[in-house]
Amino acid sequence: MPLLQVNNLSVSFDQYGRGLERFVTTPIRSLSIEIGKGEILAVVGASGSGKSLLAHAIMGILPANAIVGGEIKFKGNLIDERSIKKYRGKQIAFIPQSVNYLDPSMKVKNQVRIGLPGIKSERIEKQEHLFEKFGLKKSDGDLYPFELSGGMMRRVLFTTSMISPDTELVIADEPTPGIHRSALDLVLNQLKTIADSGIGVMLITHDIISALKIADRVSVFKDGCTVDDIPASFFSADGESLENEYTRMLWKSLPEHSFMEAI
């Protein structure tokens, strides 16, 4: 039985136009993914193709005007906005995309300590250990989010999610943009270690090259649909084994490949 299964997920928003005129937009039409124990699934695709919305739908944190269709199953059990509460932050950990999720009025070390288990001294020790692990200085903990650079904020966000001993699934929404090479490798290695311990990982990213270093399979989204689901090994040299035209285009337009000549 897969750890996480999403079948034909759709997400619509009920919005008001001028006056009382109402209209419905449907950014996600039909997404299907599957993640097994210890497996890393990379989710790639166009900006605005619904990658973050998928994560938010699983975590049950969509805005109130969202209408969700299809099914999401965690270890065979259907989950919805109410039942997710018992998994959220425990069996299922989430690393949000936007650095705006950090509290601007709180020192970052205290934000990381909130989610950690144990008594105060254990939490302090754990937080300092996590910072060290991700290449952050102890003194960085005394800073407020506005005093950190983009890449440092990313790593702080990442540490906030490394919490529970009973985590079974990690959803990481774009954990890497703006991070330099060596810090990027720390984050990737950490995700790999997590997966090797039997935890399923969903890695939402634009950085296909980095994702391929650790991913087992790749799902490609476009305009709210899953257009491709293939093993990571299919992405090679000139993309010959990529049958889907969109996937091939995505691969070729990377700056490491043809870049602007692919357009």
Partner 1 sequence: MSLKVNNLGFCYRPESWVFRNVSIEVPKGGRIGIYGNSGCGKTTLAKILASFISPKEGEVVVDGENQKREGFQPVQLIFQHPEKTMNPLWRMKDSLCESYVPEKSLLDAFGIRDEWMERYPIELSGGELQRFSIVRALHPETKYIIADEMTTMLDAITQASIWKGLLEIVKERNLGLIVISHEMAIIDKICDSCLNLEDYCHA
Among residues 19, 21, 47, 240, the one that binds partner 1 under rule CB under 8 A: 47
Q: Tokens 């209209």 — which residue?
A: 23
For the CB of residue 35, give the shortest distance to partner 1 in the complex, in Å.
21
By CB under 8 A, residue 44 contacts partner 1: yes
Rounded to whole angstroms, the Cα distance separating 116 from 113 reads 5
User: Is the CB of 5 or the CB of 190 nearer to partner 1?
Assistant: 190
Among 36, 89, 115, 178, binds partner 1 (CB under 8 A): 178
Residue 238 found at the interface with partner 1 (CB under 8 A): no
Q: Which is nearer to partner 1, 39 or 228 (CB)?
A: 228
Kindly state the number of chain residues that form the binding site for partner 1, as judged by CB under 8 A: 35
177 binds partner 1 (CB under 8 A): yes
Amino acid at 44: V
Q: What binding mask, one character per residue, do residues 146-175 give for partner 1 by CB under 8 A, x or -? A: -xxxxxx-x-------------------x-
Q: Which stretch binds partner 1 (CB under 8 A): 4-12, 39-47, 110-118, 124-132?
A: 39-47
CA 32, 30, 231, 155 dihedral sign is negative
Which residues bind to partner 1, rule: CB under 8 A? 44-49, 147-152, 154, 174, 177-184, 206, 208, 249-251, 253-256, 259-260, 262-263
